[in-house]
């Protein structure tokens, strides 16, 4: 008999990449999962959860085209990070690249990865493009006004804060490190930064079969 109990599973960590501080964490409302939903990540659609509603915010990709996450024609694996991040961002982007490499072409063609900068002051379009080429040339880099990026991030459970100044004169950017799968204007599947490529690939194959 399938267990009906839904337990709050995910703790969202506000992480300053390379920071010596521990950051903060709190249970996320609206994210629950059933023990038998078949996903390694956190499923956020009926009947086990409520998806994030993606706001209509227009940003710009590295080719200068308008990027509206809510209106993307393909399921979009979305990560908010920045190129000066020395650790977590690189790990997550490598995970995404490895997960997609495990999929057949038919599934990969139905997906895209969007890296949305949390540091638009330093992450110019050329900087973003060079950074993403290290992982997969098909990854989409997205930038815009910081206020607009925050306006998009907040309803998706993503916090963005300017962190402490570094001895080098630079600064850190604290940000939530989840990956959110967005489809038809809704964020319906979430993975933490510790998710393995195999687990993510398994989830992607499953949810693509369920997509209309």
pLDDT over 50 (residue 53):
yes
Q: Is 48 or 206 the better-scoring residue by pLDDT? A: 206
Q: pLDDT grade, residue 20 (50/70/90)?
A: very low
Q: How much is the average pLDDT of 49-61?
A: 96
pLDDT score at 5: 28
Flag whether pLDDT at 16 surpasses 60.
no
Element (H, E) at 181: strand 179-183
Element housing 165 (H / E): strand 160-165
pLDDT reported for residue 205 = 98
**At 37, is the pLDDT very low, low, confident or very high (cuts 50, 70, 90)?**
confident
Q: What is the mean pLDDT of the chain?
A: 84
**Which range is least confidently modeled, 98-102, 170-174, 183-187?**
170-174
* DSSP tally for the chain: helices H, then strands E: 5, 15
DSSP string, 11-49: EEEEEETT-SS--EEEEPTT-EEETTS--SSEE-STTT-
As a whole number, mean pLDDT of residues 145-156 equals 96
Predicted TM-score (pTM) of this structure = 0.85
Q: What is the pLDDT of residue 11?
A: 41
Tokens of 107: 């599934």
Lowest average pLDDT, out of 65-74, 78-87, 184-193, goes to: 78-87
Q: CA–CA separation, 92 vs 193, rounded Å?
A: 6
Confidence of residue 162 (pLDDT cuts 50, 70, 90): low
| pLDDT at res. 58 | 98
Q: Are 141 and 62 in contact (CB under 8 A)?
A: yes
Q: b or e along 170-198 (b: 16 or more beta carbons within 10 Å of the residue's beta carbon)?
A: eebbbbbbbbbbbbebbbbbbbbbebebe
Q: What is the pLDDT of residue 171?
A: 64
The pLDDT-based confidence of 25 (bands split at 50, 70, 90) is very low
Task: Convert the pLDDT of each residue in 83-124 to its tens digit.
Answer: 998 889 999 999 999 999 999 999 999 999 999 999 999 999
């Amino acid at each position: 008999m399938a267990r009906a109990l839904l337990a709050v599973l995910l703790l969202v960590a506000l992480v300053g990449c390379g920071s010596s501080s521990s950051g903060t964490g709190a249970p996320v409302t609206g994210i629950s999962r059933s023990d038998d939903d078949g996903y390694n990540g956190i499923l956020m659609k009926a009947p086990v959860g409520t998806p994030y509603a993606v706001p209509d915010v227009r940003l710009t990709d590295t080719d200068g085209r308008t990027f509206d996450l809510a209106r993307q024609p393909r399921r979009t694996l979305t990560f908010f990070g920045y190129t000066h991040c020395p650790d977590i961002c690189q790990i997550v982007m490598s995970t995404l690249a490895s997960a997609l490499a495990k999929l057949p072409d038919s599934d990969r063609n139905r997906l895209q990865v969007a890296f949305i900068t949390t540091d638009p002051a330093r992450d110019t379009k050329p900087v973003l493009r060079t950074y993403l080429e290290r992982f997969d040339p098909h990854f989409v880099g997205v930038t815009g006004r910081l206020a607009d990026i925050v306006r998009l991030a907040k309803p998706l459970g993503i916090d963005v804060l300017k962190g402490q100044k570094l001895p080098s004169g630079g600064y850190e950017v604290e940000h939530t490190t989840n990956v959110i799968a967005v489809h038809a204007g809704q964020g319906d599947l979430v993975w933490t930064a510790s998710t393995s490529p195999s687990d993510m690939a398994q989830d992607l194959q499953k949810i693509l079969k369920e997509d209309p």
